[in-house]
Amino acid sequence: MMSQLKQGNEIMKIITGKGIGVFRLRALISACELEAQGLTRRGSSALSILKRELGVKGSRETVLTAAREMLANVANW
Protein backbone atom coordinates (compact mmCIF):
# COMPACT_ATOMS: atom_id res chain seq x y z
CA MET A 1 0.00 0.00 0.00
CA MET A 2 1.06 3.54 -0.56
CA SER A 3 -0.27 6.64 1.12
CA GLN A 4 0.23 10.23 0.05
CA LEU A 5 0.74 13.17 2.36
CA LYS A 6 0.69 16.75 1.20
CA GLN A 7 2.75 19.30 3.09
CA GLY A 8 2.76 22.71 1.48
CA ASN A 9 3.69 22.28 -2.17
CA GLU A 10 5.36 18.91 -1.62
CA ILE A 11 3.76 15.48 -1.84
CA MET A 12 5.32 12.66 0.16
CA LYS A 13 4.61 8.99 -0.44
CA ILE A 14 4.67 6.49 2.40
CA ILE A 15 4.96 2.78 1.71
CA THR A 16 3.16 0.62 4.26
CA GLY A 17 2.02 -2.96 4.80
CA LYS A 18 2.57 -5.40 1.94
CA GLY A 19 3.98 -2.56 -0.15
CA ILE A 20 7.22 -2.71 1.84
CA GLY A 21 7.99 -6.23 0.62
CA VAL A 22 7.10 -5.33 -2.97
CA PHE A 23 9.31 -2.25 -2.84
CA ARG A 24 12.19 -4.29 -1.39
CA LEU A 25 11.85 -6.92 -4.13
CA ARG A 26 11.91 -4.19 -6.80
CA ALA A 27 15.00 -2.65 -5.20
CA LEU A 28 16.79 -6.02 -5.10
CA ILE A 29 15.96 -6.68 -8.76
CA SER A 30 17.31 -3.26 -9.75
CA ALA A 31 20.43 -3.77 -7.63
CA CYS A 32 21.05 -7.17 -9.23
CA GLU A 33 20.76 -5.62 -12.70
CA LEU A 34 23.27 -2.91 -11.71
CA GLU A 35 25.65 -5.55 -10.37
CA ALA A 36 25.50 -7.26 -13.77
CA GLN A 37 26.73 -3.99 -15.29
CA GLY A 38 29.68 -3.86 -12.89
CA LEU A 39 28.45 -1.84 -9.92
CA THR A 40 29.65 -3.25 -6.61
CA ARG A 41 28.51 -2.84 -3.03
CA ARG A 42 29.64 -3.77 0.43
CA GLY A 43 28.27 -6.84 2.11
CA SER A 44 26.21 -9.49 0.38
CA SER A 45 25.44 -9.04 -3.28
CA ALA A 46 21.85 -8.50 -4.38
CA LEU A 47 22.13 -11.76 -6.33
CA SER A 48 23.03 -13.76 -3.22
CA ILE A 49 20.22 -12.09 -1.23
CA LEU A 50 17.69 -12.94 -3.95
CA LYS A 51 18.94 -16.53 -4.16
CA ARG A 52 18.69 -16.97 -0.39
CA GLU A 53 15.26 -15.35 -0.01
CA LEU A 54 13.63 -16.90 -3.08
CA GLY A 55 15.30 -20.29 -2.67
CA VAL A 56 16.43 -20.25 -6.30
CA LYS A 57 19.68 -21.73 -7.59
CA GLY A 58 21.31 -20.95 -10.88
CA SER A 59 22.60 -18.08 -12.96
CA ARG A 60 21.83 -14.40 -12.60
CA GLU A 61 19.27 -14.61 -15.41
CA THR A 62 17.49 -17.56 -13.76
CA VAL A 63 17.27 -15.68 -10.47
CA LEU A 64 16.12 -12.44 -12.11
CA THR A 65 13.45 -14.29 -14.09
CA ALA A 66 12.13 -15.94 -10.92
CA ALA A 67 12.18 -12.60 -9.05
CA ARG A 68 10.34 -10.80 -11.86
CA GLU A 69 7.69 -13.56 -11.95
CA MET A 70 7.23 -13.28 -8.20
CA LEU A 71 6.93 -9.50 -8.50
CA ALA A 72 4.28 -9.88 -11.22
CA ASN A 73 2.31 -12.31 -9.06
CA VAL A 74 2.59 -10.16 -5.94
CA ALA A 75 1.69 -6.98 -7.83
CA ASN A 76 -1.68 -8.52 -8.76
CA TRP A 77 -2.86 -9.00 -5.15
Tens of pLDDT, residue by residue over 44-61, are 999 999 999 999 999 999
Report the predicted TM-score, pTM, of the whole model to 2 decimal places: 0.80
pLDDT computed for residue 20 by the predictor: 87
Q: Based on the structure, what is the number of domains in the chain? A: 1
pLDDT computed for residue 76 by the predictor: 65
Can you tell me the distance from the alpha carbon of 18 to that of 39, in angstroms, rounded to the nearest whole number?
29
pLDDT computed for residue 32 by the predictor: 96
Residue closest to 15 by CA, chosen among 30, 29, 5, 7: 5
pLDDT computed for residue 6 by the predictor: 75
Tell me which residues of the chain have a pLDDT lower than 50: none
Domain span at residue 59? 2-75
pLDDT computed for residue 1 by the predictor: 62
